Chain A
Amino acid sequence: MLLTGLLMVASLASLYASNTDNLNANKSPEKADKPGNELDAGKIILGKVLDHHEWPLFKIGDDYVSIPLPIILYDRDEGTLHMFMSSRFDHGHSSYKGFKLDEDERIVPVRAGTMEVDPTRRAPLDFSITMTAAGVFITLIIMMLVFIPIARKYKRKGNCPPKGLQAVLEPLILFVRDNIGVAAIGKDKYERFMPFILTMFFFIFFANLLGLVPIFPGGANITGNISVTMVLAAMTFFTICFSGNKQYWMHIFNPPGIPWWLKFPIPLMPIIEIVGVFIKPFVLMVRLTANILAGHIVILGLLVLIFIIGNISVTAGYGAAAMAVIFTVFITFLKFLVAFIQAYVFTLLSAIYLGMAVDDAH
């Protein structure tokens, strides 16, 4: 409860920071003097769940503090690679090396020395370590810091009862092994896919949990970002493609037990099956992103409500704050559950598709 309370305060603070941040970045200076009147809930919420080129922390006075992240650009016109920190952009106020951040946080080419967009140059390929990418790295580093020492513990005294972090994670590992690996793929084949399944599960789970922490190193919307889930779904897709056996492909291109007129002259069933091959990972991707994003947006909406109502009347704002906090606590607990359930569902479905692809007998 205390932890949740702390998270709440921190998220309110960072929300306030980004609230003004958005306004400062997007409005003209005279309007930014009275930010309360210009509250755009949609913009604030989307600003919080979208990717950034810096990691906003908090606001002191009128300055907001953020961790600059590396910008890596490939200039397609000149064929050069640019690498610098995002602090060079000064939150979108200045340009650097002929680029600037536009108001949607895209990096666009500008005429040298000005802030005007140069339409003659093509937009650069943006390989920057964005907030979400940094969040991905943090999640993966945490995974390595957690699991490699645990693995060493297992190697040294595997038969001893688990202790500490090992005891916390062992039920999860066993859960993934027994209820996902063995259950979906089968006893004799699951072992080959365990590294994939375990990495997938714990990445999603850890990333979801980190997404619940509103301050650094959490706060990045990792699994609610479509790029991340797309990569995860693509991993599942390619794993299925590479490990699918003859029967699996036969079922796709020439499904047995189906009347011939469904296959010839129009290959209806093969078309449906092939579409299914792509739809499966696509649905995985959308489901995970949508679930996590929805949770974030609900919480942010509740919190923004405080400021909206507070703008109308300060007293009503306090009342709204109390209500919003209660709801947010509830939603946060729900998100703990969702963090686990979505990791489970994504991994389980991946494992089931994998199990179908490597099954011998139909």
Chain B
Amino acid sequence: MGFVVLGLVSPGLGLVFWKTVAFLIVMFILGKFAWPPIIKALSQREKAIEEALRSAQMARDEMKELEARNEKLMQKAKEERDAVLTEARKMKDKLMEEAKNSAKKEGERIMEETKKQIHYERMATITELKNEVASLSIDIAEKVLQKELEDKNKHYSLIQEQLKKVKFN
């Protein structure tokens, strides 16, 4: 019994020997073939994950920036569109104004011309009418004179009468 209890705390030579040899061999083998690749892969994976996370963050930031830029571009485009529209409206108004003006002018000019034409026409007609009236009057006068002058005596007496009224001093 005494030795049995002592056996709990007394190291055995063979066991120490085998344990040392086996443990060193396994530590060497694992230290050569197992632990380095595992540790390396783990840290590599950690790095990869970190990298991925960072690049995702970067992508997100870039996206945000892009969006902001798009927004800005959109805003600018809108403004430009508005400006163009305003410009176009202005241009349209101006053009219309101009067209109106020119139409008015043209109309006035045409009116003027027409008026002139009408005036001339009227003048011509009036002249013609005058001439007609004149020749007609002459004809009538001629006829009247002819008729009047047929009675010479009458004219003669009239003249005489008139002469008598004239007093010579």
B29-53 interface (Cβ within 8 A of A): 29-31, 33-42, 44-45, 48
Please pick, from B8, B26, B39, the residue contacting A50 in the complex, using a CB distance under 8 A: B8
Whether B19 and A133, one on each chain, are in contact in the complex, defined by CB atoms closer than 8 angstroms, is yes
Query: Which of B10-18, B114-122, B147-155, B161-169 is the interface stretch?
Result: B10-18
Contact A126 B13 (CB under 8 A): yes
Bits for A154-175, please: 1 = Cβ < 8 Å to B, else 0. 1100110000000000100110
**Are A130 and B14 interface neighbours, CB within 8 A?**
yes
Q: A43-B4, A136-B23, A235-B23 are in contact. Are A126 and B33 (CB under 8 A)?
A: no
What's the least CB distance linking B11 to chain A, in Å? 4
Question: Interface with B: A54-62, A196-204, A313-321, which one?
Answer: A196-204
Q: Is there an interface contact between B36 and A195, defined as CB atoms closer than 8 Å? A: yes
A340 CB to nearest B CB, Å: 19
The answer, among A51, A106, A198, for a CB contact under 8 Å with B15, is A51
Let me know if B159 is at the binding interface, CB within 8 A: no
Given A42-B1, A46-B4, A140-B23, are A194 and B39 also a contact pair (CB < 8 Å)? yes
A231/B1 in contact, CB under 8 A: no
Interface string of A209-235 (1 = CB under 8 A from B): 000000000000000011110111011
Cβ of B27 within 8 Å of any chain A Cβ, yes or no, is yes
Contacts A46-B5, A159-B48 known; A195 to B35 CB distance under 8 Å?
yes
With A148-B33, A151-B34 known as contacts, the answer to whether A140 contacts B26 (CB < 8 A) is yes
Q: What's the minimum C-beta distance from B154 to chain A, rounded to whole angstroms?
A: 151
Task: Judge whether B8 and A46 touch: CB under 8 Å.
Answer: yes
- Interface majority SS on A: helix, strand, loop or mixed? helix
Question: A147 — nearest CB in chain B belongs to which residue?
Answer: B34
What is the CB-to-nearest-CB distance from B51 to chain A, in angstroms, rounded to a whole number? 10
B3 nearest CB across to chain A (Å): 5
Question: CB-CB < 8 A to B42: which residues of A?
Answer: 154, 158, 170, 173-174, 177
Q: Is A269 an interface residue (CB 8 A)?
A: no
Partner of B27, one of A126, A130, A173, A195: A195
User: Which residue of B has the minimal Cβ distance to A141?
Assistant: B26
Q: Is the CB of B4 within 8 A of A50?
A: yes
Is A50 a contact of B7 with CB atoms below 8 Å?
yes
Cα(A173)–Cα(B35), bound, Å: 9
Considering only residues 112-153 of chain A, those with a C-beta below 8 Å from chain B are: 125-130, 132-133, 136-137, 140, 143-144, 147-148, 150-152
Q: A63 at the A/B interface (Cβ < 8 Å)?
A: no
User: Counting CB contacts under 8 A, is A293 at the interface?
Assistant: yes
Residues of B within 8 A of A136 (CB): 15, 18-19, 22-23
Q: How far, in whole Å, are A347 and B36 apart by their CA atoms in the complex?
A: 18
A199 and B18 contact, CB distance less than 8 A: no
* Minimal beta-carbon separation of A262 from chain B (angstroms): 34
For residue B29, which residue of chain A has the nearest CB?
A144
When the two chains form their complex, are residues B35 and A194 in contact, meaning their CB atoms are under 8 A apart?
yes
Contact in complex: B10, A159 (CB < 8 Å) = no
A225 cross-chain contacts in B, Cβ below 8 A: 15
Residues of B within 8 A of A198 (CB): 30, 35
Interface membership of B20, Cβ < 8 A: yes
Cross-chain contact A147 with B30 (CB below 8 angstroms): yes
B37 near A228 with CB under 8 A, answer no
A125–B38 Cα distance when bound, in Å, is 40
Indicate whether A72 reaches chain B with its CB closer than 8 angstroms. yes
User: Knowing A104-B3, A154-B38, A227-B12 touch, does A195 contact B31 (C-beta < 8 A)?
Assistant: yes
A127 to B11 CA separation, bound complex (whole angstroms): 12
Is A133's CB under 8 angstroms from B39's CB?
Answer: no
A72-B14, A104-B3, A226-B10 as given contacts; A147 in contact with B19, CB under 8 Å: no
B26 and A143: CB pair below 8 A? yes
By the criterion CB–CB under 8 Å, are B16 and A151 in contact? no
Minimal Cβ-Cβ distance residue in B for A106 = B3
* Structural contact, B18 and A127, CB atoms closer than 8 A: yes
Contacts of B22 in A (CB 8 A): 133, 136-137, 140
User: Interface of A with B (CB < 8 Å)?
Assistant: 42-43, 46-47, 49-51, 72, 104, 106, 125-130, 132-133, 136-137, 140, 143-144, 147-148, 150-152, 154-155, 158-159, 170, 173-174, 177, 191, 194-196, 198-199, 203, 225-228, 230-232, 234-235, 293
Can you report 24 A-B residue pairs in the complex whose CB atoms are below 8 A from each other? A104-B7, A106-B3, A132-B15, A133-B14, A133-B22, A136-B23, A140-B23, A140-B26, A144-B29, A144-B30, A148-B34, A152-B37, A154-B38, A154-B42, A155-B37, A158-B41, A159-B44, A177-B39, A194-B35, A194-B39, A228-B15, A230-B16, A231-B16, A235-B23
Residues in B lying within 8 Å of A, measured CB to CB? 1, 3-5, 7-20, 22-23, 25-27, 29-31, 33-42, 44-45, 48
